[in-house]
Chain A
């Protein structure tokens, strides 16, 4: 008996290894009521939801939900990220871009019927800023004051051309201040409304929260009191946490109408009955080479940095990234003001790389390439990418040891600037190129590469100018100049701007990917 038991266990265990791909964490087989119905829509994605309190959430899945539940003062149309349009308010700004005045649209109401007032706006924005949650940095240095019942003024210490775009982020959603205060809400760190907001919504958005389980699914229903500019088509929206492999089967079979988490390779092999919207995402995958000689003498040597930039065969990396992806022309992704044209992108030159690598002494040395191996920005596996980079650098004589680690472990050496070479990605915090100035010398991300403020005075000066210049044309020129200088001299190598692929049933229309909130469920239509 004992012997059989061991063998049986081994067989079952081995089979489990082989078949583990078929399992799904989702145990909620929510069936649909026919593909052309507008009663409900099922959206499959891979959850990274922690909370749906607007002032606390800053994860992609949370943004989808919060976008549907809460209106913001300003917003973007469809997949646009460059022109803010009014939602709850219209705005004017002074010439210095330090004072922004918002006028509320008349008549807008929360889901409980009470009107949206200036007090609600002041409370919501002050709460976002004062709670010191993940998205609080969005309003750093901003003072929110009420002028009258329908007018609010935002004042910034420095000129802030990025503020309107920041206010379109779902985290800046306007909440019903009375309801939130009644449930423990305050505008500082003593706030205790998170539990309430994870079970109830308190917004004026097109949907209200029915149920939420951070591990399996979120259910939204239409807000009958909604009187804003959007027209929600589906009565119920079900957002489910599903393994990517299962998402593919679900959307092919019609068990789900939309799949958000497919890898580029899965998209390439989708059944022809499924439609795919492929657009460049706002994510940029990059390498950082530590400029601190105490971390690694070779990555800190500009000639070695040049060798590595030349040793990477960018088109060959792109092959791994699939539909909608493109080589990153610079750190600022296309679609943003100041993004560089393709003619400025880094190029592959093996001969130059080999001679530079030999000259700077990195050839024959071992350098460590660290990366998180449990997260895939828009479905692109960093582990796959790192293995391709390893082979390419080897061809130029640069030996790289791969050091994968879970995100939670690797984020610390990354943030403290301890990685020799790091493979990471950047999702914009808000839709303005100013966000990317963090890569400059002495700035927050620059320091992760050991790049001190005095390391490159020219670039540091461009960063300072770009932060405070308000004029569109001047901004564009400055950002382009900064981008070119970064490509040439920074310790960062922009690699790939992955595509974002939304697979959906043909019955669903108006499917737009917007990097700010991934998908606006209220904007979806039915054929």
Chain B
């Protein structure tokens, strides 16, 4: 039951502190938009007017009352494709953020808790990855693995865990010397138990806030890889690849505009939401 207690405490702290924040206009709007995208992500495919893969409409028809966002180069309904794309981009972004948070946290906790050579080795590895420009390294990895959405997530994961490892390690370093952790060790807690009971609950909050800030960036990175032809394969209605196909016909403004707006709103709303969460939950971090 030890593990359940801090989790409840965390949720209640968030619950207590969030409402005043999201009443602020920007935070509130961001929250509504982000929530709308998440809802569309779940129900989207069943409410779209056309099959996002069906090539039944005239090609390149501009937005109209029958197809709200117009149609693409193969006569597919762009509105249906943008909505269907939400499930792909947002769920993959969430998956990517969760995975990088897990990988980064494990490495950070181990490095911070054990210190010495373990810390040295893990942090130098982290430095090596951080030393590369994010997008370039992700591109190279995705290109080497072959184009597919799964490989794009894998490639993005390789570049996005190090910041988590760094932050978690520094949190653990400060906690390691704290009295309640030392007390636990003196009582005979094993390293694993000490980490689970005393350390993890105290780093969960800041890490989750960091993750929420990262969702938008993750969506952008994945769309970017698909834009470059290293992610989703046709005919998947992925936003980045839709924009990529729109490039050659950019005088048909609707082809790139709507997927572009989708990426823009997802990135901005999740970023603002993450900010609101951080201000509410972790006021210290705001001053960094």
In the complex, chain A residues 14-29 whose Cβ is within 8 Å of any chain B Cβ: 14-15, 17-18, 20-22
Chain A residues lying within 8 Å of B175, measured Cβ to Cβ, are: none
Docked complex: A261-304 residues within 8 A CB-CB of B: 263, 265-266, 269
B59 at the interface (CB under 8 A from A): yes
Contact indicator B251/A14 (Cβ below 8 Å):
no
Closest chain B residue to A316, Cβ basis = B55
B235 touches A402 (CB 8 A): yes
Chain B residue numbers with a CB within 8 Å of A386 are 234
**Contact A381 to B217, CB < 8 A, known contacts A265-B73, A320-B73:** no
Closest to A391 in B: B55
Q: A386-B234, A387-B234 are in contact. Are A10 and B216 (CB under 8 A)?
A: yes
Instruction: Say how far A232's CB is from chain B's closest CB, in angstroms.
Output: 33
Q: Which residue of B lies closest to A269 (CB)?
A: B251
Taking the complex as formed, is B264 at the interface, i.e. its CB lies under 8 A from any CB of chain A?
A: yes
> Which chain B positions have C-beta within 8 A of A248?
251
Beta-carbon nearest neighbor of B265 in chain A: A14
Bound form: Cα–Cα A265–B229 in Å: 21
Find chain A residues with CB under 8 A from B147 CB. 404-405
Partner of B74, one of A13, A384, A404: A384
Contacts of A388 in B (CB 8 A): 55, 74
Stretch of A1-9, A51-59, A146-154 on the interface side: A1-9
Q: Quick check: A2 and B288 within 8 Å, CB to CB?
A: yes
Q: Contact string, A368-409, partner B, CB cutoff 8 A, digits 1/0?
A: 000001101000010110111011000000000011111000
In the complex, chain A residues 22-71 whose Cβ is within 8 Å of any chain B Cβ: 22
Complex Cα gap A388–B76 (Å): 11
Query: When A265-B60, A402-B234 are in contact, do A384 and B73 touch as well, CB less than 8 Å?
Result: yes
User: With A and B bound together, what is the CA distance between A11 and B268 in angstroms?
Assistant: 7
- B249: A residues at CB distance < 8 A: 263, 265-266
Q: Contacts A263-B249, A266-B251 given; indicate if A383 touches B234 (C-beta within 8 A).
A: yes
Q: Is B145 an interface residue (CB 8 A)?
A: no
How many interface residues does A have (CB within 8 Å)? 39
User: Which residues in chain B, 93-133, are within 8 Å of chain A measured between CB atoms?
Assistant: none
Task: Please tell me if the beta carbons of B267 and A383 are within 8 angstroms of each other in the complex.
Answer: no
Asked whether, in the complex, the Cβ of B245 is within 8 Å of the Cβ of A383, the reply is yes
Q: Are B286 and A3 in contact (CB under 8 A)?
A: yes
- B223 and A17 within 8 A (CB): yes
Chain B residues with CB under 8 A of A381:
73, 245, 248
A373 to B59 CA separation, bound complex (whole angstroms): 21
CA distance A387 to B236 in the complex (A): 10
CB distance from B74 to the nearest CB of A (A): 6
Selected contact of B234 from candidates A7, A15, A404, CB within 8 Å: A404
A6 with B271: CB separation less than 8 A: yes
Number of residues in B with C-beta < 8 Å to the partner? 41
Asked if residues A3 and B275 are in contact (CB atoms below 8 Å), the reply is yes
Indicate if B256 sits at the interface (CB-CB under 8 A): yes
Q: Is A245 an interface residue (CB 8 A)?
A: yes
Tell whether, in the assembled complex, residue A21 and residue B224 are in contact, meaning their CB atoms are under 8 Å apart. Answer: no
| Bound CA–CA A522/B45 (angstroms) | 57
Nearest residue, chain A, Cβ from B221: A13
Which residues in B have their C-beta under 8 angstroms from that of A391? 53-55, 235
Q: Which residues of chain A come closer than 8 Å to B42, judged between CB atoms?
A: none
**What is the chain B residue whose CB lies nearest that of A20?**
B247
Across-interface contacts of A173 in B (CB, < 8 A): none
Rounded to whole angstroms, the CA-CA distance of A51 and B271 in the bound complex is: 49
Q: Does A433 contact B (CB under 8 A)?
A: no
Alpha-carbon separation in the docked complex, A357 to B85 (Å): 32
Contact of B229 among A20, A376, A390, A406 (CB under 8 A): A406
* Contact present for A15 and B264 (CB under 8 Å): yes
Asked if A319 is at the interface (CB within 8 A of a chain B CB), the reply is yes
Q: Does B240 contact A (CB under 8 A)?
A: yes
B263 an interface residue at 8 Å Cβ cutoff? yes
Q: Known contacts A17-B240, A391-B55, A404-B229; decide if A10 and B248 are in contact (CB<8 Å).
A: no
Chain B residues, Cβ within 8 Å of A373: 229
CB < 8 Å neighbour of B268 from A7, A21, A376: A7
Question: In the complex, A403 Cα to B148 Cα: how many Å?
Answer: 9
Chain B contacts with A in 232-288, Cβ cutoff 8 A? 233-235, 240, 243, 245-251, 256-257, 260, 263-264, 267-268, 271-272, 275, 286, 288
- A392 to chain B minimum Cβ distance, whole angstroms, is 9
Q: Taking each of B146, B229, B246, which has the highest tally of chain A beta carbons within 10 Å of its own beta carbon? A: B229
Question: Which of A14, A376, A384 has a CB less than 8 Å from the CB of B263?
Answer: A14
A residues in contact with B216, CB < 8 Å: 10
Which of A7, A17, A245, A384 has a CB less than 8 Å from the CB of B227? A17
Neighbouring B residues of A11 by C-beta, 8 Å = 264, 267-268
Residues of A contacting B245 in the complex (Cβ-Cβ under 8 angstroms)? 381, 383-384
Complex: how many Å from CA A274 to CA B249?
18
Contact partners of B251 in chain A: CB under 8 A: 245, 248, 266, 269
20 A-B residue pairs with CB within 8 Å: A7-B271, A10-B267, A11-B268, A14-B220, A14-B263, A14-B267, A14-B268, A15-B264, A17-B224, A18-B260, A21-B246, A21-B248, A374-B229, A383-B234, A386-B234, A388-B55, A391-B235, A404-B147, A405-B146, A405-B147
Give me the 4 closest cross-chain CB pairs, A-B, nearest first: A18-B260, A21-B250, A21-B247, A14-B264
Q: Which residues of A contact B (CB under 8 A)?
A: 2-3, 6-7, 10-11, 13-15, 17-18, 20-22, 244-245, 248, 263, 265-266, 269, 319-320, 373-374, 376, 381, 383-384, 386-388, 390-391, 402-406
